[in-house]
Amino acid sequence: MKSLFSILALALAVGLASVASAEDYPSRPITMIVPFAAGGPTDVIARLMAQQMGNTLGQNVAVEDITGAAGTIGVGRVAKAAPDGYTIGIGHWSTHVANGAIYTLPYDLLNDLEPIALLPSNPMLIVTGTATPAKTLKELVAWLKDRPGATIGTAGVGSGSHIAGVYFQSFAGTHLQYVPYRGTDPALIDLMAGRIDVMFDQVSEAIQKLQAGQIKAYAVTAKNRLPSLPDIPTVDEEGMKGLYVNIWYGLWAPKGTPKDIIAKLTGAAAKAMADPTVQKRFTDLALDMPPPDQQTAQALGALQKAEIEKWWPIIKAAGIKAE
């Protein structure tokens, strides 16, 4: 009996401690893990969000870049962290959807992580060098079909640009030779030089070269035209209805993080995205902001699940494997 009383007392004490810690949260700095190198698109978004979220939460949100294995090491660090709200992570479509079909992960993307908030997204552009004679997407497809050994550059095996290319082929009926690079920049250099024929690139990465007239864009892989590039038609307008590839971003915490802590983090993220300075920076980066009712943990969780159901069969059928 005494033993049972001790167990109940301990359980009550742990429960009260949990409530107290949630009420006091945050009482020390928070770490936001970026699963890629400093200076890239994910790191830039993280630092914008971290600064504003820290202002709201009253504690510093420190960004830590943990690279390796296409983002799986950094995401794994978040999944294995203590579920106390002091370690959170930023990721995107590749890290929290595609990687699950490409890698054997030591964590479960849906069951070991807790969604916090859906962040801006970044559709892709179908681009070529300026010397390409095609003027429309239909003309580009015809040109690629007539070109022996037509090549498509990617940012690496299993990257968003690689998977987008596979998806494109299923619509276009083309047979392209994939040329993997270590990142987008070297692929764009070869595209501009005419050493590869076509590639998919995130709008935020391609927009400066496009505006400088160094590359040509044929369509955006989204349902609507982008405010930042109103002259670029959608894939629907160009006859490839449904060729949607959207690199959306999000914030996650370890599974088991208390719901009221998640709520505080979600609120801080929403306030950061409502800040005019952050919104202008996101607009400059050609990022598409989700409406306020879609910035929630629930919206992120539902989107991630739906995207896994859509993309895993496509990736697995293409035989895309980690090198």
Q: Are 202 and 247 in contact (CB under 8 A)?
A: yes
165, 314 Cβ separation under 8 angstroms: no
- SS3 state at 243: coil
Encode pLDDT of 109-141 as tens digits.
Answer: 999 999 999 999 999 999 999 999 999 999 999
Cβ neighbors of 224 (< 8 A, separation 6 or more) are: 234
* 87 CB neighbour count, 10 Å cutoff: 20
Q: Are 27-122+247-317 and 123-220 equal in CATH topology?
A: yes
The answer to whether residue 97 scores a pLDDT higher than 90 is: yes
Nearest to 283 by CA among 204, 202, 185, 200: 204
Q: Give me the CATH topology for the region 123-220.
A: D-Maltodextrin-Binding Protein; domain 2 (3.40.190)
pTM: 0.87
Domain boundaries, the chain: 27-122+247-317, 123-220
Paired residues of 219 in beta bridges: 126
DSSP string, 200-229: EEEHHHHHHHHHTTSEEEEEESSSS-BTTB
Question: In sequence order, what DSSP letters do the residues of 249-293 get, joined into one string?
Answer: EEEEEETT--HHHHHHHHHHHHHHHH-HHHHHHHHHTT-BPPPGG
118: buried, middle or exposed (CB in 10 Å: 19+, 13-18, 0-12)? buried
pLDDT at residue 8, rounded to an integer: 47
- CB contact set of 99 (below 8 Å; sequence gap of 6+): 70, 71, 72, 75, 105, 109, 158
Please say whether the beta carbons of 79 and 9 come within 8 A: no
Q: What's the pLDDT score for residue 228?
A: 87
Residues 29-83 have pLDDT tens digits of: 999 999 998 888 899 999 999 999 999 999 999 999 999 888 999 999 999 999 9
The pLDDT of residue 54 is 98
pLDDT tens, residue by residue, 166-220: 999 999 999 999 999 988 889 999 999 999 999 999 998 899 999 999 999 999 9
Helix (H, G, I), strand (E, B) or coil at 247: strand
- Render pLDDT for 256-304 as a digit per residue (tens, 0 to 9): 999 999 999 999 999 999 999 999 999 888 898 999 999 999 999 999 9
- Higher-confidence residue: 73 or 11? 73
Q: Is the pLDDT of residue 90 over 90?
A: yes
Band (pLDDT 50/70/90 cuts) for residue 21 is: low
What DSSP string describes 84-116? SSSEEEEEEHIIIIIHHHHS--SS-TTTSEEEE
The owner of tokens 């505080």 is: 264
Residue 1's pLDDT band, with cuts at 50, 70 and 90, is very low
pLDDT for res 41 = 84
Residue type, 73: I
The pLDDT of residue 16: 44
* Architecture per CATH, 27-122+247-317: 3-Layer(aba) Sandwich (3.40)
Q: Rounded to an integer, what is the distance from CA 32 to the centroid of its chain? A: 15
Strand partners, 91: 250
Spatial CB neighbours of 125, under 8 Å, sequence gap ≥ 6: 200, 201, 202, 203, 206, 210, 217, 218, 219, 220, 221, 229, 232
* Residue at token pair 């005419």: 194
pLDDT number for residue 145: 96
For residue 12, pLDDT over 80 is answered with no
Q: What is the mean pLDDT of residues 92-99?
A: 96
pLDDT for 103 equals 94
Q: Which residues pair with 226 in a beta bridge?
A: 229
The set of residues, in sequence order, having a beta carbon less than 8 Å from that of 164 and lying 6+ positions away, is: 124, 200, 221, 245
- Give the whole-angstrom CA distance, residue 288 versus residue 284: 10
